[in-house]
Structure formats: C-alpha cells, structure tokens
Structure 1
Amino acid sequence: MPITRWIRGAKLSFARLPIRGGAPSEPAYIYRDPWKGDAEQGARIVSGRFLFERQEYSFPSGRWDQGTWPEPAQEWLHSFCWLRDLRALGSDEARLTARALVSHWLSYPPTDLLVKNASVTGARLAAWIANHEFALASADRRIQQKFMERLLQEGRTIAAFLPLPAQGWKGLKALKGLLAVALAIPEQTGFMSRFLRYLPAEIERLILADGMVAERSPEAQFQAARELTEMSIMFRTAHSSVPPILETSLDKVCPVLRAMRHGDGALAVFNGSRELYSSVIDEVLAQGARQKLLAPSMSQGLFTRLALGKALLIMDNGPPAAEGFDKRAHAGTLSFEFSYQRHRLFVNCGSAEVGAWNKALRASPAHTVLVADGLSSSDFNAEGRVVRRPAHVMCEHQTDGTAHWLETSHDGYYPPLGLKWTRNLYLGGEGEDLRGQEIVEGERATPFALRFHIHPDVTVIRDDEDIILKVGGMVWRFRQKGGQINLENDIYVARGRVEKTQQIVVESIQYKISSEDNKLQESDEASSKDSLSENKEKKKFSQTVTWLLERIPE
C-alpha cells in the first residue's frame, strides 16, 4: 500500500542518516565465525581476485557498486562471507587484506539497490562481527569508530525493512545480522526486541509442518539449518538463553536435512541444489541438531524417500515452490535420484546461479523425467519466477517392508499439449531391482523422451538394446520396452564444475488408442460422417514405456 511504502521509505531515510558520536567505540560482544573457510579462495582474494561460479572476477578498486559482476556475484561480494576464506588462509597478508577491504567498503558503501537488500546487509553485519577478532581487533581507532557507526546504521536499515517480503531462507540472514548488532550494541535495545518480534513470523512462513523449508530445495534446507544454528551459537557464546523457537525449528529442519542426503553424505540435487561436501553438512548437524533423527516423511514438502537395503531413491513429487519462494525452483516435478551404497547412478544435472547454464539447468530436460515435445513441465519468467506449474500432482506410496510402490502423475503438460503423465515405480530385491512404468495419455499424438541422467562417476557401456552401468565394483543393467533407446552426451554441474557424462534417452515410437476409444470407434462406424468426425476429435492417445534397472553379477 502507498502509505506503507511511504512509512518504510521514511524509516530507511532516517536509518541511513550519518551517525556521529552515537555509536560505542567497540563491540560489546563478538563471536567467532563457526564455519570453515576456503584457503584457496583466500589466496585469490589476497591477489585481488575471487572465484564465483567457475568465473574469476576482480575486487573493486573504487566504488563497490560500480563493477561488472553479475547480480549473484555482487551479492556474494557485499556479504563479506569471504572473510572466513581469508581467515582460513591465516597469514598476516590475509589479515591485512581483510582489514583493508572492510575499510575500503566503509569508504565506498553502495548506493544502489543493494542498500535495500536486507539479507545481504544482514550477512555482511554478521560476517564483520564474526571475523572482527581476525580483521579489525588491532585496527586503528579511526577505522574502529567508522566501523561501529556503520554497524549501527546498517542495523537500523534492516530494522526499517521489517517485516521482510517472502524470500525463503535468505530472510534468516537479515535477522541474523540484526541479532549480531543487537549483541554487539546491547544498549540499543530496539534491535533485540525487533529480532524477537519478527523471528517467529519468518520461521512460520519458511518452515513447513514437516520441517521442509518453503523453497523445497535440499540446499535451501542446508542453508536454513546453518543460519538457525549460527543464531543459536551467537546466543550461547554470549551466555544468553537461546529462544525456544530456534531450538524447536532446528529440531524440525535438521531431520529433513539428513533425509535429503545420499549414501555419500552429500545433498540430493533438486531445485537449485548441488552436492555439498558431507563434512560441511556434518558440521552443521553436529552444532545444530540435538538428536540424530531422520525425517519419517516429507508430506508437506512433497518429497518421497525410499530406502531399501543399501539403495536410496529420492523423488520430487510436488510442483515448484510457491510464489515468493520459487526464484531457484526447477521444472523437475516427478524427477528422482537413485543411489546405492555411496554411489549415485541416476541424478539430476545440477544448477547454476548465472549465465546460460542457469536457464538450461532449470528446464525439465536437465532432470530424470519425461520431457514431452521438448518442453518443460513448468515455465519461468525473465525474473526467474514460476509462471506456469502443474496444477495437479499425485503421489501414493505403499510398502510391505520388503518392497516399495510409488504411483505418481502430473498434468504439467496439459496446458500446452493436452497430456497427462503417470510414473509408477517399484523398488525391491533389497534395493537391487528398480522398475518403472511411464504412461502418457493425451488428446493428440505427441513425441516424448524419458531422460535418465547418469552420474559422471559411472562408466556407461552400450550392449545391444541394454545399457550397462559400472560403478564401485558393481554392474547394473538398464533395459526398456515400448520405446527407442539411445545414449546421448550429457553434463553434470553439481560439484562446482562442468563434468561430461552420459544420459539414457528412451524416445516414443508409437501411439495406441485406448480401449475406451476402440469402443468409441466401433460406434462411430455406424454413425454418419459428421458424427464420426466429431467423435474422432475426442479420441485419447496413450503410450506406455516400461523400464528396469537391476544389479547383475560381474
């Protein structure tokens, strides 16, 4: 509403006023950044460059808001989370570089839209305070005073933007920054009161009833768990009571994070996620989770996890995340990943924050799904938000303890093509027998392809009409019936680099008229030409493809 925007604008203008003499000379409380940095990145930063999404950029030499960095890289740069990378390097040169860059930013703060990005501001404040001992503790008084004045001003800026618009786990970064300022400048009691006031509402809209975060992304799950854990650490190291809502939120979020890991300990690759080193996740769970629990189900988050023997199958059985939480959502409804022991076999291709890969990896063909006529089951606008998604997604799970059955479907292809896709999966044989039935029903014949993306660690061999997969001393065979099978080149972008791999593609080769349509055709033969023409328009076409992945003796 106009009056609300006016009030918020007035608050922001007040918050950005220069502060002289109202800030203390040093933080009353600091805490040490609990997360490990990357010493290699630290070495790059010392040399004046940084790596983001496999691309090197230069640090600013003048104003921090006038570089040529893409928006995600600019947000990362202004967040100062890279201070931990300099700390990981640990040299005197790294310390002086950290101090010089903070001082430089204080001299050239941004004046563009980054001023209004509360999550970036919050990340920056927390990073400054968490690395204060390393970067600023021995700085001269002039820098210290300028730092404290900016700390107070930036805290007021975050407070002016509360309550925040929906932005997923990043909203927690803004509140974390506010908490950092509240602990560093405790005489400004308004910071803590606003933190405690707005935290419950932010958590309520972010965390679903089953503990899944609203973005429906394993990486967002990890990031939310890390932000909540860091807030808890801040209270504990300040010898303050941890708000109960933080502890209960972690008790919900951490079991889901555990459930979204494969046997190698890294994350499943859905909706903007990538493989993360298992040690990084272990670190968050060790500090944030009070019990080693695994989420029994994710019925609100709409993921299904099937574990049998040493096999694990994780499926995305929901539409992309709701509006406000969908900026990194993918068109991967009913995609799945399958692993055995510590080895991934079928995967999704990964994600990218910038460049052409961002759009390509969000599309359906980059997922282990059915792709109809080369289209995606969801569409995105220029801002990256979802503008079309499946209206109806169904998933039913049954098990008798020795096997699992999944019956799923979605209508994401109905608006553009008039199609419905049904995917039925069976997992049995102690996890060594995975079968699928793919049914396409539509108003007209439409070509489609089933894509099974193979992890780059797997060796792939064509054996007549079968595909042989070798990994970890195991041999698996893939076969299908009802389609045309091919092997195609593929890429995997979930481990911080572009890796070449392969994918199995099963293409449609024929369509058949359903039994109901056969009856309709018989009745048409006794009708007039006009009636026959009208009934033909109502015919439904369908095709079924079945496939099997089984482990075989070497």
Structure 2
Amino acid sequence: MTAGVAHKRFKPGSGAWYRGTALYQMTALSGPVPAGLSFVPPDPWPGDAQHGQELLNNRFRFTGQSFSGELPPWLEPGASAPWLAEMHGFDWLRHLRATGGDAARRQARVLVSHWLDLFGRKWDPVAWAPDVLATRVTAWIGQHDFFLASADDQLRARVFDSLARQVRFLDHAVPGRLKGGPLLTAVKGMVYGGLCLSGLSRVAERAGSLLARELPRQVLPDGGHVEHSPASQLLALRHLIDMRGCYRAGRADVPEALQHAIDRMTPTLRFFRHGDGGLALFNGAQEGEAVLIDTVLGQADARGRPLKSTPHIGFERITAGRTCILMDTGVPPAPGLDEHAHAGTLSFEMSIGRERLIVNCGAHPGDQGPWRAALAATAAHSTVTIDDTNSSAVNDEGGLTRRPSRVRSLRQDAEEGTLVEAHHDGYQIRGGFTHHRRLFLAESGEDLRGQDTLTGAAGHKFAVRFHLHPGVRVATLEDEAALLLRLPSGALWKFRAGGAGIETADSIYLGQGAEPRPTVQIVLRGITQLGETPVKWGFRREGSDIDS
C-alpha cells in the first residue's frame, strides 16, 4: 500500500485489484505504440521561471508543501493528497520550460524517466488516479517540443509506449466515480491522447460523447460551473480552451457543446473578478494571478459583459461607481461536487476600484485538515455565525456533511441603488433559526447599508463578521459608536452599527500562496431575542482622500 492510499482522494475502487495485475497490464493496456505525435496542441499558459529553478535543484514545492531529495519523493509519506496529485501530474513541466536552457530540459527528462522506472508498467492508486493520469498525459503531450523532441530514441519510445497505455487506461476507467472538475480533467486527457496519438481515435470519439453528455451538467445556464467556485470556474474554462485548441490543431471539428460552454463560462468568470483583476474568495478560491486570468479570458475569445446575477450557482454582483460587491446567495454545491465548498452562505466581499475592503479569509492551497477546518468555517467569512457553529458542516478531508436546504434571494435594481434580500435555514439545528440579510448599495457606490435579522429562539449568542483586507487600517472613533477604515490609497470609509456591540479582533487572510497574512475583522456580537433579532450596519465613504 502506497503513501497516498491513506488519503480519501486516492482510495482505489472495486476494480483496483485487477488493474494492479500483470494480466491487466498485458491485455487491456497493450497495443500499437505510436512513433510520435500527429501534432502538438498549443500551450498558451505561462510558466514560473523561479519555480522551475527550484525544480532544477530537486525542490518540489506544491500546494503549500515542499520536499527535497536526490531522488524525487513521488510517494512522500508526509505529503498531502493535493501535493501528490501535483507531483504526479507533471503540469510543472511548464515551469522548467520557463527557466529555459539545456539543464532544464535534461532535468525534465530525468524526472520523466524516473517516473517511468517506478510507475510506467506498475499500477498505483496515486500515480494512476484517472484525473492525475490525464493531467500527466496532457503535460507530456503539450510539453513535447520542450523535453522530448530532441531526446534519444530510447526515452522517446518509452514515453510514447507509456502515453498509449495511459490513454487506454483512461478509456477503461472514465467516468468511473469522477464528477465535476476531475471528470473534465480526465476527458481532456482522452481528447489529447485520442487526437494526438495515432491508433487511438476511438478514444477521442468517446471523449466527444462524454463532453456532449457532461458539459450541460457541469456548465449551468448562467455559465457558472457546478462546483460554485471561482477557482473551479477558471480551471474548467482553461481545460475547455485547451480541448478546443487541441481539436483545432488537429483540424478536427470542435464539438458544439464545447464551444457553447466556453461562450457561457467566459462572462461568468468576469463576474467573479474584483477591480484588482483577482477572483472573489468563495468555496476554496484564492485571488489567482491576474495575468493568468487575463490570458484565459483572451484565449476564450468570447464576448459578454459580467452578469448581475448567476441564479443557478447562487451569486449576486452589485456595482455602482467604483464599488463592487459579490455575495453568495445560493445553496452549496451538491454532494460529490462539494470537495472545495465552504460554509459561507450569505457572505459578501466588497472592493473599491482596485482595493479590497471586505473579504472572506480565503483558502489554503492544500485545502485539507486544520487549514480547511479553519478557512471553510462560517466564521472565516463575512457573514453571521450563531453559537460559534457553521451554517454547513465542514468535512476536514473535503466536502460538506450538512448544508442549508433552502436559500432564497431577491434583487431589485432602481435609480437610487440596488437592493438584494436573501435568507437561509442553515441554522435550523440551533434554535430553528433563519438568517435574513439585506444589502443596499446606493447608486453613487459610496453608501452600503445592511441588515441581518435572526428569526428563532432567545438566548443564543451571535456574531456578524466583516473581515478586512490586510491593506485596510482601522481606527476607533471615541465620540461615537463607529469605526474609521482607511484604504491604502488614503480613501476613508466609516462603519456604523446598531443592535449589537462593535469590536475588532484578529483575523487572517489567505488570498494568495500558502502563508497567511494577519489582518483585522469587525465583529458585532449579541444575544438573540425571541422572534426577530435585527442588527443594522453600514459602510459610508467619508469626505476626500487624505495624505498618509
């Protein structure tokens, strides 16, 4: 049993015993070996030269963990499931390519050769997980000209033999238990292998059938991805663009469902962007790299302005003046599609131009264990908690075990501003509570008024939280129940509240990378009354900018 089997992510299915036998390797995966690629699909995505330099030095840093050694730690016992998936997926070859030079090319060959020695003809639940395997297939094919075009005949023969075997494995194993993003990843591997490798066109045909079936399930009518995550939206769209590029490079007809999905998803990706170009922090998302997001949107080549509402995945976007607000107003994604889901129902984020003011705490790249428990919790979001519990029950290994069954929202756009009203029943287990939230943003974009109302039993502690971006500074106004918030540009906003006591507390922000940044949160605390307990609050722009 390998190190990765301990992770739920890699627990083998019922057919694993057979896939591990020599008979399976000799029969199901055997066949003609392609001599080369029919064509090389385009790879427009940037690599990170600094990361490539680390790989040159045998330092393998992924998803917040780093391991080093003379031999690649393919099955490092202390590695998380996301780290193992990255390691075996080889998508990091693009970082070596970005470094450039013969040393990077040689290192890529050494690592590929070492993997082949260990796993090329031996099934392993980590190395041969279908979506991990598919990532590796697309990486080896997409980076062919970088590391393989000038390689010796022996390595080329081994790589193409392995590619053919891996693609045949995908044909046998997909869809299996895969859902959501991992299933798209696996189909992408089938598209690349079936189109680029001679003798495997049947796999490409089956991939086209899977796309026709799966895309209407995963890309909802509002263009949102079924996992309700800005990060999943970005990754899924990138996969679809890659598949379209592969079809075009092979001079094959692009499936109609694929093009329609790209056209629908692109405006929704724009929907999730703040003014700084990064993504909103919902359901496991970090800000991402603005340059990469720009590249994805450019490669999508699909017009369409950001929507106001995405009712099928449950988000609202309110813009006025320089202010942008994004609010989670939907039921969390369904079981099996909720690996990265957070308990952040009715939370919101707010940015002014290119500066973020109100945020959620974000996500750790590893997204498992203590980090997931902390960052997926309701208290890590700018919304309401009751009795320090979560509105959805968070599983440390991914997913939710309880969630609101009913979330409703109503939006009204008028000349004076936009009003969004929403409620959810995620706290029914705590005194039968329903949480109602109202947000009104004036047409100037400089006045946000909110009200949270808890309807239920008396005597329960509650907290209304507003996490601030680390760039925001807070000052208490002694002569009134208010706080003064200063953005990095010098812009001032005043926060007022009624119906609960105002305090500030420490918080963290994980919008980028794996290291949390300290920040501050505003907390309104109180105890519920029988029936309705309203709390009113507001953020208002103050005067003109002042010097630092």
- TM-score, length of structure 1 as denominator length: 0.90
Match of 2:395 among 377, 381, 386: 381
1:59–1:217 Cα change, 3 Å:
farther
Q: Within 5 A, what are the aligned runs for 1:322-471? A: 322-352=334-364, 353-464=367-478, 465-471=481-487
Query: Alpha-carbon deviations, 1:284-322, whole Å to 9, x = none?
Result: 111113324323531111111111121111100012110
Q: Secondary structure at the match of 2:180?
A: coil
Q: Post-superposition shift, 1:8? A: 9.3
Identity %, equivalent residues: 36
1:382–1:460 Cα change, 3 Å:
closer
Q: Secondary structure at the match of 1:155?
A: helix
Query: Alpha-carbon deviations, 1:345-391, whole Å to 9, x = none?
Result: 00100012244212100000000000111000000335422111111
Equivalent in the alignment of 2:150: 138
Equivalent in the alignment of 1:473: 490
Equivalent in the alignment of 2:518: 500
> Aligned AA for 1:65?
L
2:34/2:198 contact within 8 Å kept? no
Q: Bigger shift: 212-221 or 393-402? A: 393-402
Q: Distance in 1 between matches of 2:436 and 2:70?
A: 52
Equivalent in the alignment of 1:199: 211
Q: Bigger shift: 160-169 or 347-356? A: 160-169
> Aligned AA for 1:392?
R
Q: Secondary structure at the match of 2:231?
A: helix
> Aligned AA for 2:338?
D
Q: Post-superposition shift, 1:449? A: 0.5
Q: Within 5 A, what are the aligned runs for 1:227-306? A: 227-306=239-318
Q: Distance in 2 between matches of 1:351 and 1:62?
A: 27
Tell me if 1:550 matches 2:537.
no
Equivalent in the alignment of 1:104: 114
Query: Alpha-carbon deviations, 1:189-224, whole Å to 9, x = none?
Result: 211111112111221221111111111001100001
Q: Secondary structure at the match of 2:26?
A: coil
> Aligned AA for 2:534?
T
> Aligned AA for 1:211?
G
Query: Alpha-carbon deviations, 1:220-266, whole Å to 9, x = none?
Result: 00001100011111122223322222111101111100111011111
> Aligned AA for 2:26?
L
Bigger Cα Rg? 1
Match of 1:82 among 80, 88, 92: 92
2:42/2:245 contact within 8 Å kept? no
Tell me if 1:25 matches 2:41.
no
Q: Bigger shift: 230-239 or 95-104? A: 230-239
Equivalent in the alignment of 2:47: 37
Q: Distance in 1 between matches of 2:353 and 2:88?
A: 40
Unaligned runs of 5+ in 2: 1-12
- TM-score, length of structure 2 as denominator length: 0.91
> Aligned AA for 1:469?
L
Query: Alpha-carbon deviations, 1:475-505, whole Å to 9, x = none?
Result: 1000101111111111000111311110000
1:23/1:148 contact within 8 Å kept? yes
Q: Post-superposition shift, 1:87? A: 0.4
1:211/1:253 contact within 8 Å kept? yes
> Aligned AA for 2:439?
L
Q: Post-superposition shift, 1:402? A: 3.1
2:19/2:123 contact within 8 Å kept? no
Match of 2:236 among 218, 221, 224: 224
1:63–1:266 Cα change, 3 Å:
closer
Q: Secondary structure at the match of 2:126?
A: helix
> Aligned AA for 2:100?
G
Q: Distance in 1 between matches of 2:178 and 2:31?
A: 36
Q: Post-superposition shift, 1:456? A: 0.9
Q: Post-superposition shift, 1:334? A: 0.2
1:187–1:458 Cα change, 3 Å:
same
> Aligned AA for 1:488?
A
Q: Secondary structure at the match of 1:262?
A: coil
> Aligned AA for 2:428?
Y
1:372/1:446 contact within 8 Å kept? yes
Query: Alpha-carbon deviations, 1:491-520, whole Å to 9, x = none?
Result: 000111311110000101x544xxxxxxxx
> Aligned AA for 1:546?
K
Q: Distance in 2 between matches of 1:194 and 1:222?
A: 25
Unaligned runs of 5+ in 1: 513-539
1:172–1:9 Cα change, 3 Å:
farther
Q: Secondary structure at the match of 1:143?
A: helix
Q: Distance in 2 between matches of 1:335 and 1:164?
A: 35
Tell me if 1:159 matches 2:159.
no
Q: Secondary structure at the match of 2:310?
A: coil
Q: Distance in 2 between matches of 1:81 and 1:392?
A: 39
Q: Distance in 1 between matches of 2:133 and 2:63?
A: 22
> Aligned AA for 2:507?
D
Matched pairs, number: 522
1:282–1:382 Cα change, 3 Å:
closer
Q: Distance in 1 between matches of 2:394 and 2:26?
A: 39
1:226–1:399 Cα change, 3 Å:
same
> Aligned AA for 2:414?
D
Q: Bigger shift: 241-250 or 48-57? A: 48-57
Aligned-CA RMSD value: 2.0
